Amino acid sequence: MTLPPRLLRSWLLALLLVCPAWAVAADVHYNQMHIQREGGNRFVVALSLNLTQVLHQVLAPQSSLADFLKTYSDAPDKVLQIALAKAGTELGQKSFMVLPTGAKVGIRDWQFPPLAALRESLKAHAFLLELPSTTPAHVPPMIVQALGHSKTPVGRAQLQVHKVLHPLWVVQPHDQLWLTEQIPLAIVNFE
């Protein structure tokens, strides 16, 4: 039995569109952090996050994920900007490095993706929640950046981040490690 060329093309197209989606949807993305020192006393942090889930846990942990996504995906830009500022403050208060001297260096200046991209991610996540639970799917991670400034040069420090970022895979110039609820802090070495 042979399939007519038109039907075969349609079937192959459908197969090509669905199979990669299954492969990608089955992949799990853990939150990741790349941290490096610049100029001896400045730290640049780049995070690849499941941002919709992180924001839900920071901004409205008492509400359901579906309600949170609906509320913020439809929110005016000003409301979303205020929410991101609040999230950046909350994340910054509980994300820091402790230097060998005991001084605490906060991870601050959180820079989130543009509002349009974040809104699309919130809407996509809300749409995915409506799919049958047997359909594996996730929203692609989003990049967030933050900075830390020390008054003195730093060779090593103890890193701790807000618990909503756990589990967090940390990549630094000379090492890679996990931060989890069971292992909430680690020593990072920049030399």
| Per-residue pLDDT, 174 | 84
**How many degrees, rounded to 5, is the angle at CA 39 between CA 31 and CA 164?**
20
Give strand pairing partners of 31: 168
| Per-residue pLDDT, 102 | 94
Pairing status of strand 168-172 against strand 31-38: parallel
Pairing status of strand 156-160 against strand 142-149: unpaired
| Per-residue pLDDT, 95 | 97
Instruction: Answer left, alpha or beta for residue 102, where phi above 0 means left and psi between -120 and 50 means alpha.
Output: left
| Per-residue pLDDT, 15 | 37
pTM (2 d.p.): 0.82
The segments of the chain whose pLDDT lies below 70 read: 1-28, 136
Reduced to 3 states (helix: H, G, I; strand: E, B; else coil), residue 28 is coil
